[in-house]
Structures are given as structure tokens and as C-alpha cells.
Amino acid sequence: MNGFMIEKPVPYYEQFYHSIKAMIFEGKFKPGERIVETQLAKEFNVSKSPIREAIRMLVQEGLIVTDDKSKMVIYEPTLKDVEEIYFCRKALESFAVRLMIEKATDSEIEEIEELLLETEKAIHNGQEDKAIIDLNASFHNLIIEFTKNERLKKQIKDLKTLMYFFRVMNFQGGNRAEDILKQHRDIFCHIKKRDEEKAAQAMLGHLQLDVDHLTEVLNKTVK
């Protein structure tokens, strides 16, 4: 009997939370679209309670908001949101890459390099956007993880969901996978040399290019 484990079933509300979240990221729910508990409960063929809890979690993460008529709607991004979130990211991640270079072992730096090779293969093999977006997110996540700073990790975690929302939006347009990989490789080049200053500047430049691209995407959407 040693080693025998029973896996607990995933609660309904968690399943619906992940399902609705995926539908938002995939564009099946559009920004500004109204969310109705009774309608979702009917579609999923469940009671309103787990749907209500899933929506509550999504509200906490900022993916569902209350509009001016007190109705629940899908989050609609603005340029102000981009500026504020990326202001935080620039401050946190430029510091993080410096700290990571100071704290990371050689094997941890090799892990980041292997991730970049995996990303390159995924692009070459024509994998779906989601897989490449997740690999891009992992590049940033590993840098944060290897700082070994729990407070910093928490600050980033608080932004995680909307960061991913913008990562998906940031992928719109031609050659985005290649462009982002090139920028990640530039950052990593300085990481490998353990050059904190140049790595931090490369990170800031990368994030500013994201802001520039997202601004273009949003401006086109508004038009």
C-alpha cells in the first residue's frame, strides 16, 4: 500500500474557471461581452453555484469586470492598462534579471538556454500559437523563479493573468514569434555573460517593444 495515492476530483467551479478563462484567451468570449450566470449554467448543464464561484475568481484576476450598468462583462483592454501593467513589468523584470544573474547557478542558466532552443523548434515545426506563447511566458517565469526572491515572485503573480492576456494580444501580427524569440535571445546573450547592466537594458527594450506593438494593435481595434 506504500506510495498509493488517491487523486481528489477537481471541483466543478475550478473546472469552469479554467474553461471560461481559456475561452476568454481564445477569443470565444469577446472583450465587452456580457456574462450571464444563468446562461452559462444552462450551457454547462450545472447549477449556478459553481459558475458563480468561477466568475468570482475571474473577477479577482481582472478578466471579468462590472460595467457602468452593473453587468458582468469580459475585460476590455485599454492603452492605460498597457501602460500601467508594463510600467510594473519593466520595474520588476529589469530588477529580476539583474538579481537572477547574481543568484542563478550555471545549470539554471543552461535551463533557460534549453527553453529558447525548444521555442525555436516549436516555431520551426509550426506549432500552434498557444504553445509558443506559453514557451515565451516560461522564459520570463524562469528568470523570476531563479531570483529565489519570494516577495518578487508574489508581485509578479498578482499581475500574471492580465500579463498573459496581453501576451496573447501581443502575438497578433506577422512574424511575432520570430521577433519575440530574437529579443529573448538578446536578453539571454547578456545573461550568459552575466552582464547585469546589459541584460537589464535588453529586458527594458524588449518590454517597450511589446508596449509599442500592443499600442498598434489596440489602435487598430479602436478604428
pLDDT of residue 70: 83
The per-residue pLDDT of the chain, averaged, comes to 93
CATH class of the region 79-222: mainly alpha
Task: For the domain covering 12-74, report its CATH number.
Answer: 1.10.10.10
- Report pLDDT digits (tens) over 172-211: 988 999 999 999 999 999 999 999 999 999 999 999 999 9
pLDDT of residue 1: 45
pLDDT of residue 6: 58
- Report pLDDT digits (tens) over 114-170: 999 999 999 999 999 999 999 999 999 999 999 999 999 999 988 999 999 999 999
At 2, is the pLDDT very low, low, confident or very high (cuts 50, 70, 90)? low
Measured N-to-C along each axis, helices 129-145 and 106-124 cross at an angle, to the nearest 10 degrees, of: 170
Residue 31 CA from chain centroid, whole number: 17
Q: Where are the domains of the chain?
A: 12-74, 79-222
Cβ–Cβ under 8 Å, residues 170 and 92: no
